[in-house]
């Protein structure tokens, strides 16, 4: 995902050097690329639309204030399809890590759907082998509000057949492919051989994603207790114009969120959450 493919006004690049870089598209503050020593870690559909209207198909879409279908507005809320502001331009800290922050505040359009005042602050910290995404929701209104939120990460995998997630054993999951029925995960190593759309409840703070035979990523979370595992598989991917036909073989969504029950945020309070990817 070469940043030069995009209008410079639309993307912000966190350049750490030696092939370690993050590219953020201001549409939804969507991380569209995270390369570690030259190797791309995220999936971005080759038919993703970049019209600053539709959600980007891939990278890390930010889901707020609602995960899933929403009676008040678009599926997965409006955060991923709004233009965010650069709150802190990329800067290097003393360790050579690169930090940048993005913000989104309520406006007439968001209040027309969801009539609350809020401010989101999304901070990225890129180290040699890890990427920390911190997601903070400020209730700047005079009344409490509730929301669900999630970081909808599309990991890039050479082959979904050689991909797995470890650390989910014993968890209850909501199976959205099976009428939302709940089941218990019995496997230590979760592999996929068909369309998965599962919400694992109260997951451990750390899970390991084997994205390739020689590449393992650790996902650690704070205040994001639910983990969604999604791959549309062949038939569903074919029905999505912005999902290239073969793309489903090369991606796995492992998404940290607070989605099973909403966050209730009091007027003036803030909700802190984060996810950390570490290459093992």
Residues of this chain that bind ligand TA6 (CB under 6 A): 55, 68, 75-76, 152, 176, 197, 228, 230, 253, 255
- Judged by beta carbon, residue 177 or residue 279, the one nearer ligand TA6 is 177
Q: Which is nearer to ligand TA6, 3 or 58 (CB)?
A: 58
| CB 88, min distance to ligand TA6, A | 27
Please, how many CA atoms are within 13 Å of residue 51, restricted to the half-sphere of its CB? Answer: 5
CB atoms within 10 A of CB 75: 12
End-to-end CA distance of the chain: 23
Q: What's the closest the beta carbon of residue 109 comes to ligand TA6, in angstroms? A: 18
CA neighbor of 162 nearest in space, from 227, 229, 200, 214: 214
Compare residues 124 and 254 and give the one whose CB is closer to ligand TA6: 254
How far apart are CB 91 and ligand TA6 at their closest, in Å? 31
What are residue 219's phi and psi, to 5 degrees?
Answer: -110, 115
Instruction: Note whether 253 and 236 are within 8 A (CB).
Output: no
From the candidates 25, 27, 152, 185, which is the catalytic residue?
152
Active site residue 39: no
Residue nearest to ligand TA6 (CB): 230
- DSSP letter at 55 equals P
Q: Which of 25, 76, 185, 255 is catalytic?
A: 255
Distances from the Cα of 74 to the Cα of 26, 80, 81, 103, 108, angstroms: 18, 10, 9, 20, 16
Does residue 234 carry a catalytic annotation?
no
**Least distance in angstroms from the C-beta of 147 to ligand TA6:** 16
DSSP state of 38: T
The residue among 197 and 244 lying less far from ligand TA6, judged by its C-beta, is 197
Q: Which residues are designated catalytic?
A: 152, 255
């Amino acid at each position: 995902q070469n940043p030069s493919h995009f209008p410079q006004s639309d993307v912000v690049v966190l350049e750490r050097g030696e092939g370690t870089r993050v590219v953020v598209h201001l549409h939804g503050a969507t991380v569209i690329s995270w390369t570690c020593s030259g190797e791309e870690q995220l999936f971005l559909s080759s038919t993703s639309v970049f019209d600053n209207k539709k959600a980007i198909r891939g990278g890390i879409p930010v889901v707020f204030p609602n995960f899933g279908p929403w009676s008040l507005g678009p599926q997965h809320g409006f955060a991923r399809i709004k233009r965010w502001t650069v709150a802190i331009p990329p800067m290097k800290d003393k360790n050579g890590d690169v930090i940048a922050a993005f913000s989104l505040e309520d406006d007439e359009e968001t209040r027309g759907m969801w009539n609350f005042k809020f401010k989101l602050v999304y901070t990225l910290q890129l180290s040699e082998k890890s990427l920390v995404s911190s997601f903070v929701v400020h209730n700047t209104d005079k009344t409490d509000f509730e929301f669900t939120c999630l970081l909808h990460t599309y990991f890039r995998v050479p082959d979904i057949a050689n991909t797995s997630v470890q650390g989910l054993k014993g968890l209850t999951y909501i199976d959205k492919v099976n009428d939302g029925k709940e089941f218990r995960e019995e496997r230590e190593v979760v592999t996929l051989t068909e369309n998965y759309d599962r919400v694992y409840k109260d997951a451990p703070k750390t899970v390991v994603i084997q994205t390739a035979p020689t590449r393992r990523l650790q996902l650690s979370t704070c205040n994001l207790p639910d983990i969604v595992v999604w791959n549309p598989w062949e038939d569903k991917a074919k029905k999505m114009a912005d999902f290239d036909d073969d793309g489903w073989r090369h991606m796995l969504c492992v998404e940290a969120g607070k989605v099973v029950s909403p966050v209730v945020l009091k007027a003036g309070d803030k909700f802190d959450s984060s996810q950390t990817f570490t290459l093992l």
